[in-house]
Amino acid sequence: MSIKKSPWIIHYDGSSCNGCDIEVLACLTPLYDIERFGIINVGNPKHADILLITGGVNQQNKTVIKNLYDQMAEPKAVVAIGACACTGHFFAECYNMLGGVDTVIPVDVFVPGCAARPEVIIDGVVKALAVLEKKQQEKVTA
Amino acid sequence: MNAWIWGIVGILLTPVVAGLVGGIDRVITAKMQGRMGPPVLQPFYDVMKLFSKQNLVLNRFHHDLVICSLIFTVAAVGLLFAGENLLMCIFALVVGNVFLVLAAYSTNSPYSMLGADRELLQMLAAEPMILLAAVGIYMATGTFDINLIASGTHSAIQYLPGVFFGLIYVLTIKLRKSPFDLSTSHHAHQELVKGLSTEFAGPSLALFEIIHWYETVFVMALIYLFFASRPIVGIVAVLIVYFLEILIDNINARVKWDLMLASAWVITLIFGLGNLMLLFILK
Amino acid sequence: MAKRTIVPFGPQHPVLPEPIHLDLVLEDEMVVDVLPSVGFIHRGLELLCQKKSFQDMVFVAERICGICSFIHGVGYCQGIEKVMNLDIPKRAQFLRVFWGELSRVHSHLLWLGLAADAIGFESLFMHSWRVREKVLAIFEETTGGRVIFGAAKVGGVRIDISQDKLDQLAIALDEIQKEYEPLAKVFLEDYTVQHRWSEVGYLSKEDAHQLGAVGPTARASGLPQDMRKLRYGAYEDLEVEPIVETAGDCYARCVVRVKEIYQSLDLMRRVIHKIPAGEIETKVTGFPQGEYFSRVEQPRGEVVYYVKGNGTKFLDRFRVRTPTFANIPPLLQMLKGCTLADVPAIVLSIDPCISCTER
Amino acid sequence: MFEDQEIVTIERSELISRAQKISKEGYRLVQIGCTKQSDHFQIDYTFDKEYRFYNLRLSIPLDHPTLPSISHLIMPAFLYENEMHDLFGIQVSDMILDYQGKFYNIAKKAPFATISAADTTTEKG
Amino acid sequence: MELAIFLIFFPLLPAVLLVFSKNAFFQKWITIIASTVIAAASVLFAIQYMKGSGEYSTFICPLPNQLIMIGDIILALVFLFICRKLPLRRYWIPLLVIVQYGLVLFYDFSGRMPEVTHYLYLDGLTAVMAVVIGIVGTLIAIYTVGYMKHYHHEHPELSNRTHLFLATIFLFFSAMFGIIFSNSITWIYFFWEITTVCSFIMISYSREPIAIQNAFRALWMLLVGGLSFALAIIYLADSGYTLELQRLMMMPVAFVLLPVLLICFAGMNKAALYPFGNWLLGAMVAPTPASALLHSSTMVKAGVYLVIRCAPILKGTTAGAMVALLGGLSFLAASAMAVSQRNSKRVLAYSTIANLGLIVLCAGIGTSFTLWAAVLIIIFHAVAKALMFLCVGTVSHQTNSLDIEDMQGLIASMPYVTIIMLIGLSGMFLAPFGMLISKWAVIQALAIRSPIFPAIVIFGGSLMLFFWTKWFGQLIAIPNARQQNLEQGIGIEWVALWGLAILTIAACVCYPLIGQYWLVPMYGWNPMLYDKIELSIAIMLGLMLLPPIILLIRKKHLVYTTPYLGGANVANPQEFMGSLSSPRPWAFKNYYLTRFFGEEVLMRWTIAGSIVLLILMFLVEKL
């Protein structure tokens, strides 16, 4: 069975301003209702397929992000949500920032926006599904 | 021989029925929350996906203990459908549950173990009522033998309204629904992360879901036994009770363990034992 | 009993939308010791004032927090405006109040949802956020943004709302209120909600004052403290009475917020009613020279902006003291002796905004 | 309408007694802030009582800046003091909870003390 | 018959020999040989009487009363000797001795004791008890040899009196066989008090103040039981009915209910039911073999044995219902209080009280089905509980702790002991192992009675499930790092540990056989034996074979990871990144729910409730 029909997500707030966070949460709620696609926010890396990260990486949370990523079961995908998660946005200039999420873990999908809108977030997750499916097939053939 | 066939049919049909019921549950829940909800077959998609994932473990035992739990839970359902002794079936289910708790303990991870302790608390709250229901059914029908209960001429419900109510009360614990989803909930937004199942990943989690399906069918069958003499009424009653549980799930916050334990025991004593005492005196 | 359970609560934890970490020491489920740690979101944005001009800093201020974004912008602008002695048109001030109060409604609804979710009341979460989407729709209609919309600027606001639109909004507000009412009733009357919040996370009036609680946290403990009483901006013309509860527990904090939503909706209606015609901004010339502590009321409480200009386009110092920062000591007080199940409820009861706190 | 703000400059040695006095009078601590000036750190202790703004200001030297902690008198101060330590490198003695420089856990030591605002303005201004 | 007499007298031989052998080698071999002989004899005895419907002794005892009189005098002197150093304010302890022996001896001297014709009575129940004492008891005796070596190694400050300890054990065997084989109530009384002396000696073994104090508490509480026994004897002697237990049970209920209740009282007192439960908890200061032998698997069983013997009179009476309720109360309260305990020996002690309460509950109701269940519990409990005590004793030697929380992940450091312990634990509560079968039998048997009784069993059973499972879980919480093996130095103890583990499993596997060949002759056919049930138990047993097999299969597809710690993981999986930015070990301790089930909360009510029930028990008899 394809992983496409049941992607479970975990959301971690890197060092975002909450703007993208609440938009991720808004995706769960009645207007956007991502459970239509079988998506559940499981909140536990061991159960999740897709790691959504909002906000950039700073000194302290880089190990957290790495830990969470390591604890996810293969196949897994990472979606960086919002300008900060993609590049660090204008916080990139701050002394405590390392930059986008791709500085610590491989990112599969970048979702732009400040704050990223729910529609775009859903779009990003759907893109991640294709990535996941590919990884799954690779795993089967390997 | 007939019993064996029934048992096997029960074991085979349970995942299908429970999965579908689970899917319908999720759709109804979504509708109650003003959402569309997932496809009805979503539980199957979930479980199949989980089987296709990596099996992340902390040590080589906890996955095995989940398998043990599944074996006994399946056995409980099998024995139930085969028409064996009701108490023995319940004990088999308890053993299945104990193995699940042990699996959580064996991971040696804080949230998982806290979940295990909470699960024990849930068992402590729910088990008396379930066993008392069995005693009630015995008092009403004169037997613990499920075959005889099911083929009896009168239903236990007419003698046991209080017991039935008590059972519905603790059913929420068994179905892991609000307000009593303390050890692990369908939604992860609780203080214990996923509690009991925090450390189960991939196939282990899939097994955990399947165990839950069997458990669901088991308790629903228990409800059915109250109406056993009239199968149609029984099935309707089961559906109504399940719908009621969904409704309760949606209109309650999760309570704390002390309230759960105290209220479950008080309900068990007042409605369960009270009903039985009345029955004993009047008979 | 020296043997205790010690668990890390966070930084990643499903009930916490944001990373905060607590070392929890438990006995059975009783919390006997708690030690917080912060810094997971610390970016160091205060120092951006040396790289961005004081006018660009509005955008930084708005991104201190994506929930109370607009009021952050207003607070900052107000500080600069005082330093530069700018006179802001009345209409701009009224619009600021309108969006500000709308932000409060959006923030409180968001909080109601998250708090309900933390106690396992998913359907209440869903319905709170369903109503909240209508609030966001107003933001989108009037500014184009949903959560961060950059409407504030030094010297006024960027966008005007036409009179027709304002009239339509009055109707929309009524609709929101109508949908909100049954929801509020559940929060105020449901048994399980009360079980989870009543007598949980108690903070006495004295402690609230001593420990410097602000916003709904202080008001729920009986302190009538609301920075809108400073009558900044258009609050000069719009009298606001702080909503005060005396129980000091999580439930009281919920009640305060539930009632404040009504208050804010009412304020917005008065804004629509009273808003004068005219310009929406004054022209800004020169650079700020001087200092000011600008205090405004966020949904979470008092926020303090300290701006110090040195006559160039870069500020000397840009400092924010956000409400959550002030509410951490009261939070530690509340967590004493609670149970593990109460921890998320209590942490959320101050409506923590970690990204504000750590900047 | 802007509020009146009373800013009083004090000596470092006075800090404890002033803080004690003002907290006895029923003021609450609003914030403690630090601003790097070209030749000193300006420390602000902001208090409030029924919307009355009262600020104690003192200055300490840039080299080896030290401060006594007022967290024994006013508990919430420990957060601000730890913050000052991490961002400005100010040594605050006797805090009730000392994070030992790990409050924000930043890689760079005292970032606010190393770059001065005046420097950047001359570069870019 | 000869076997029975042999079993009573033979243990005295090793007892005497051991008193004089201070050499560890001799101690060891005397114990092993004597134990083997006793075990073999008791098995032979059981086989002989398993199917028999009861047999009276026919021999004629010369000067029976005089013999017992001399014995009683000696015992009374021993008691007074024990009490010689007691402070004056504890005058009631010698007073209890003087009163009861004074009364009994007075009747002896005045020659008012009725004649006894059958001194012994042997039937299925005695066979059960004989096997329990003969096999479980002797395994514990063998274990003691190894245990005491460690014990003195660890406590060099104590003087080594192992030979006396072992001698006491054999003296105790003799007394126990005496109790169960005797038909004469005066004989039972004599042996009864010997076990009390043995208990005192063993509890006070270490001679530390706490041990002495608890030993005296046990002594006076048990003497209260003795007094009650003495009163029963005097009542019977005075009324001239009979002093034969079996004949007493055939008398009309109305005549003999009071003495029977007095005997039951003595039995419940010995079985540590509330309000006397506390002596058993205090007795846990004794070396572990003593706890296993006296205070869980045999001596306290003598108490319930007597109550079971009294069942024919109790059956159907209100007083009998009170006895049952007393048992039920003890079962419920002790199970609840066990939840709040973290000291493993205290948990075991509470669960012992609970199980004894359950047996008394069954005996008080006294129908054949409930007696059936009661005997089943005696068997399963004796085996599994002795095993648990011995395991705990071994663990505490190797790790210096009795705390259950310190046993976290024990499976890594002491794999074999833990596996044995898991067998014992499974035996205590997991279906289809012993205790659960018994509990199921009890619920089945009680369901036709007033629902109060099944409710007590159900609630108590759920509590037991709680505290056993959390212990079980703590043992198998597998540590993330390799542990040092702590099993070196366990010697002869293995014999007892494995022996009891195998017995636990065997008892479970043989359940239908026990039922058919042992219990059916005693109490008649039971619906619990019909094919279908046996089939489901067989299925469950079969399934129970699977877990070990599954656990042994090596799996390849597993991927190892670290525990979920909220993302705050550090290199060591036992630690997380703490708030002060340094790694901090996380820890997990179980729930103890002291607010609900703490001793402080429940003890007062339990004692008060049981005293009320006791008073009621004697009152309703009067009515």
Does residue C287 lie in a domain region? yes
- Residue B169 near residue B258 (C-beta atoms within 8 A): no
Mean pLDDT across E247-260 = 85
Share above pLDDT 90 across residues of chain C, in percent, rounded to a whole number: 5
Least confident of C71-85, C194-208, E401-415, E473-487: E473-487
HSE at residue C319, side-chain half, CA atoms within 13 A, is: 26
Would E238 be classed as within a structural domain? yes
Does the pLDDT at position D119 exceed 60?
no
Is the separation of the CB atoms in E590 and A99 below 8 Å? no
Residue type, D94: D
Min Cα separation C207/chain B (Å): 26
Residue D60: name the closest of D75, D81, D29 by CA: D81
Q: Is E579 on the interface with C (CB under 8 A)?
A: yes
Cβ atoms E250, E280 nearer than 8 A: no
Q: E-contacting residues of C 13-32, CB under 8 Å? A: 13, 19, 21-23, 27-29
Q: Which residue has the higher pLDDT, B11 or E432?
A: B11
- Nearest chain E Cα distance for residue B18, angstroms: 24
Domain carrying residue C258: 43-336
Contact A36 B38 (CB under 8 A): yes
E244 bridge partner residues: E184
Which residue out of A17, A40, A42, A120 would a mutagenesis test of the C interface target, given it has the greatest number of C Cβ atoms within 10 Å?
Answer: A17
CA–CA distance from E533 to each of E195, E400, E526, E537 (Å)? 40, 44, 11, 6
| Domain limits for position E64 | 2-553+589-622
Axis crossing angle, helix E318-339 with helix E344-365, rounded to the nearest 10: 160
Top residue of D88, D106, D112 to mutate, by most chain A CBs within 10 Å, is: D106
Of A8, A36, A136, the CB nearest to B52: A136
Q: What is the CATH number of the domain that holds C300?
A: 1.10.645.10
For residue C51, is pLDDT > 60? yes
The single-letter code of the amino acid at C210 is Q
- Interface subset of A 113-132, CB within 8 angstroms of C: 114-115, 117
- Over residues C25-35, the pLDDT tens digits come to 888 888 888 88
Query: Cα–Cα distance between E29 and E492 in angstroms, integer?
Result: 11
Q: Is the pLDDT score of E534 beyond 80?
A: no
Going from N- to C-terminal start, the domains of chain D cover 5-115
What is the pLDDT averaged over residues E595-615? 88
- What mean pLDDT do residues E539-545 have? 81
pLDDT, mean of residues C81-89: 86
In tens, the pLDDT along A81-117 reads 988 888 888 788 888 888 888 888 999 999 988 888 8
Q: What percent of chain C has pLDDT over 70?
A: 99
Distance of CA B29 to the CA centre of its chain: 18
Q: What angle do CA C60, C62, C65 make, to 5 degrees?
A: 105
Question: Which of B194, B191, B195, B212 is CA-nearest to residue B115?
Answer: B195
Tokens of B281: 């005196």
Strand ranges of the sheet holding C289-298, from the earlier edge strand across to the other edge: C289-298, C301-310, C315-321
Q: Is residue E349 part of a domain?
A: yes
Give the model's confidence band at D125: pLDDT under 50 very low, under 70 low, under 90 confident, else very high: very low
Asked if D3's CB is within 8 angstroms of C232's CB, the reply is yes
With CB atoms and an 8 Å threshold, state whether D105 touches E581: yes
Retrieve residue E539's tokens.
């299925």
Write the class of the CATH domain A3-141.
alpha beta
> How much is the average pLDDT of E331-358?
91
Task: Give the pLDDT band (50/70/90) at residue A142.
Answer: low
For residues E474-496, average pLDDT: 79
Better-scored residue on pLDDT, E543 or B189: E543
The minimum CA-CA distance between B189 and chain C, rounded to whole Å, is 5
Kindly report which listed range (B211-220, B243-252, D91-100, E311-320) carries the lowest average pLDDT score.
Answer: D91-100
pLDDT in tens, E189-225: 889 989 999 988 888 888 888 888 888 888 888 889 9
Q: Cβ of D104 and A95 within 8 Å?
A: no
pLDDT of amino acid D18: 85
Cβ contact C300:C216 at 8 Å: yes
User: Higher pLDDT residue, E196 or E57?
Assistant: E196
Higher-scoring residue by pLDDT: E528, D120: E528
Residue among E228, E203, E225, E226 nearest E213 (CA): E203
Using N-to-C axis directions, what is the helix angle for E24-50 and E2-9, rounded to 10°? 160
Helices E124-131 and E162-181, axial angle in degrees (round to 10): 170
Q: How far is C223 from chain D (nearest CA, A)?
A: 10
How confident is residue C256, by pLDDT bands cut at 50, 70 and 90?
very high
The subunits that touch chain A, with at least 3 C-beta pairs less than 8 Å apart, are B, C, D, E
B33 pLDDT above the threshold of 70: yes
CA dihedral (C131, C134, C140, C146) in degrees, to 10, reads 10
Better-scored residue on pLDDT, A59 or E470: E470
E185/E196 Cα distance (integer angstroms): 16
For chains A and D, what is the number of CB pairs under 8 angstroms? Answer: 14
pLDDT at D117: 47
C161: in domain: yes
E594-603 mean pLDDT: 86
Fold of D5-115: Beta Polymerase; domain 2 (3.30.460)
Chains that touch D (3 or more CB pairs under 8 A): A, C, E
Interface of A with C in 34-73 (CB under 8 A): 41-45, 55-56, 58, 60-61, 64, 68
A22 to C67: CB separation less than 8 angstroms, yes or no = yes
Q: What angle do CA E549, E553, E559 make, to 5 degrees?
A: 135
Q: What percent of chain B has pLDDT over 90?
A: 32
Our count of domains for chain C comes to 1
Under a CB-based contact definition with an 8 Å cutoff, are residues B90 and B130 in contact? Answer: yes
Please enumerate in sequence order all residues whose Cβ is within 8 A of that of E6, keeping only pairs 6 or more positions apart, or say none.
E41
Q: What is the Cα C313 distance to its own chain's centre?
A: 29
CB half-sphere exposure, A81, CA atoms < 13 A: 38
pLDDT for res E35: 92
Q: Do B114 and E470 touch (CB under 8 A)?
A: no
- Tell which wins on pLDDT, E392 or D119: E392
Tell me what the mean pLDDT of segment A111-124 comes to.
88
| Of D90, D95, D94, nearest in space to D110 by CA | D90
Interface of B with E in 79-108 (CB under 8 A): 79, 84-85, 87-88, 91-92, 94-95, 98-99, 101-102, 104-108
> CA separation (Å) from C175 to B214, C332, D61, E324?
46, 39, 59, 67
Does residue E590 contact residue E472 with C-beta atoms inside 8 Å? Answer: no
DSSP assignment letter at D33? E
- The verdict on a CB contact (< 8 Å) between A136 and B45 is no
Q: What mean pLDDT comes out for the span E516-525?
A: 75
- Find which of B13-22, B179-188, B247-256 is predicted with most confidence, using mean pLDDT: B13-22
Coil, helix or strand at residue D52: strand
- At E269-328, the pLDDT tens digits run 988 888 888 888 888 888 888 888 888 888 889 899 999 988 888 888 888 888 888 999
| pLDDT tens, position by position, B147-173 | 888 887 778 888 889 999 999 999 988
pLDDT at B264: 92
How many Cβ atoms sit within 10 Å of the Cβ of residue E516?
15
Q: How far is CA E110 from the centre of its chain?
A: 38
pLDDT band, very low/low/confident/very high, at B263 (cuts 50, 70, 90): very high
- Would the pLDDT of B141 be above 90? no
Query: E460 or D116, which is more confident?
Result: E460
What is the per-residue pLDDT for B271? 92
For residue E481, list its beta bridge partners: none
Mean pLDDT of C141-157: 85
Q: What is the DSSP letter of C249?
A: S
E23: in domain = yes
Average pLDDT over residues C86-110: 89
Question: Do D and B count as touching (3 or more CB pairs closer than 8 A)?
Answer: no
Number of domains in chain E: 1
pLDDT at B1: 59
Of residues D114 and E597, more confidence is placed in E597
| Rounded Cα distance, D14 and D20, in Å | 10
In a domain, C359, yes or no: no
